[in-house]
């Protein structure tokens, strides 16, 4: 038997259809008397309020899975699968849209490439997508902890776990991608993450689009947190 879910870690939206699974952003508004569990402390973040309001206006449910500092290891992918199964058991969509912000993008893409037939669409806000970028250059200790490996072992096997090398299944399943990313991002460089995925994915025949924000970096701002293009993408693929 698998490990039982700790339900205090999961948050569920209000309408059992068109669900968006939102990694590392637990942002659920609960109607008074709905009987739903409360959100985790510090969520939702105020920077996400525009997206939250727009989703709720369209009756799009959303839920998040907070695993802390994870980088898409097999163990963290497995935990997200438990979350996915719990959502499906509760009557939510079997093919959600995945949205990952910053390092949440790596977790989401790592799960998506292992489960291409369970994903309706993939979206990212300046997402980390390449295990050899930010996770190795700026955050190696947390990456090693997630993979439960020493540095030598990890360096020998990193490409086996890097989702940028495993995009074929998503392309074959015709899962559309959309990212918004600044061209001056020095923490999660556009060219090492979103551009690599977009270029590889389109060569595989997949549909992918990026909204490049000129002069902007890894920051909170309307270009990223009030993106009409990103919201239109989510709404389009939630209602199709």
Distance CA 35, CA 107 (A): 30
- Say if residue 186 is preceded by a cis peptide, omega within 30 of 0: no
Does 3.40.50.720 match the CATH number of domain 9-239?
Answer: no
Question: What pLDDT, on the 0 to 100 scale, is given for residue 53?
Answer: 85
Q: Which residue has the tokens 């392309």?
A: 171
What is residue 101's three-state secondary structure?
Answer: strand
Question: What pLDDT, on the 0 to 100 scale, is given for residue 149?
Answer: 96
> Which residue ranges make up each domain of the chain?
9-239
Distance CA 212, CA 229 (A): 11
What count of other Cβ atoms lies within 10 Å of the Cβ of residue 228? 10
pLDDT (tens, 9 = 90+) of the chain, 240 residues, equals 233 344 334 443 333 445 566 543 333 333 333 333 334 455 556 777 888 888 888 888 878 777 878 889 999 999 899 888 888 888 888 899 999 999 989 999 999 999 999 999 999 999 999 999 999 999 999 999 999 999 999 999 999 999 999 999 999 999 999 999 999 999 999 999 999 999 999 999 999 999 999 999 999 999 999 999 999 999 999 876
What count of other Cβ atoms lies within 10 Å of the Cβ of residue 176? 20
Residue 57 buriedness (CB in 10 A; 0-12 / 13-18 / 19+) = exposed
Question: What pLDDT, on the 0 to 100 scale, is given for residue 232?
Answer: 95
């Amino acid at each position: 038997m698998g490990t039982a879910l700790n339900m205090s870690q999961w948050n569920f939206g209000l309408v059992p259809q068109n669900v968006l699974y939102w990694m590392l952003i637990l942002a659920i508004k609960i109607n008074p008397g709905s009987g739903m569990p409360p959100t985790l402390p510090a969520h939702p973040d105020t920077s996400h309020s525009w997206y939250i309001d727009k989703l709720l206006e369209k009756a799009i449910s959303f839920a998040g899975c907070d695993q802390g500092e994870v980088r898409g290891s097999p163990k963290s992918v497995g935990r997200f699968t438990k979350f996915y199964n719990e959502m499906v058991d509760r009557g939510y969509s079997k093919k959600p849209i995945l949205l990952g912000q910053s390092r949440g993008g790596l977790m989401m893409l790592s799960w998506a490439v292992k489960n291409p037939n369970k994903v309706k669409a993939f979206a990212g806000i300046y997402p980390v997508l390449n295990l050899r970028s930010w996770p190795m250059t700026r955050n190696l200790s947390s990456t090693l902890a997630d993979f439960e490996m020493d540095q030598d072992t990890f360096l020998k096997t990193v490409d086996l776990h890097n989702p940028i090398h495993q995009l074929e299944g998503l392309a074959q399943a015709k899962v559309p991608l959309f990212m918004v990313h600044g061209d001056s991002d020095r923490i999660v460089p556009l060219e090492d993450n979103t551009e690599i995925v977009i270029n590889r994915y389109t060569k595989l025949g997949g549909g992918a689009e990026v909204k490049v924000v000129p002069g902007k970096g890894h920051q909170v701002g309307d270009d990223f947190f009030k993106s009409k293009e990103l919201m239109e993408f989510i709404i389009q693929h939630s209602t199709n």
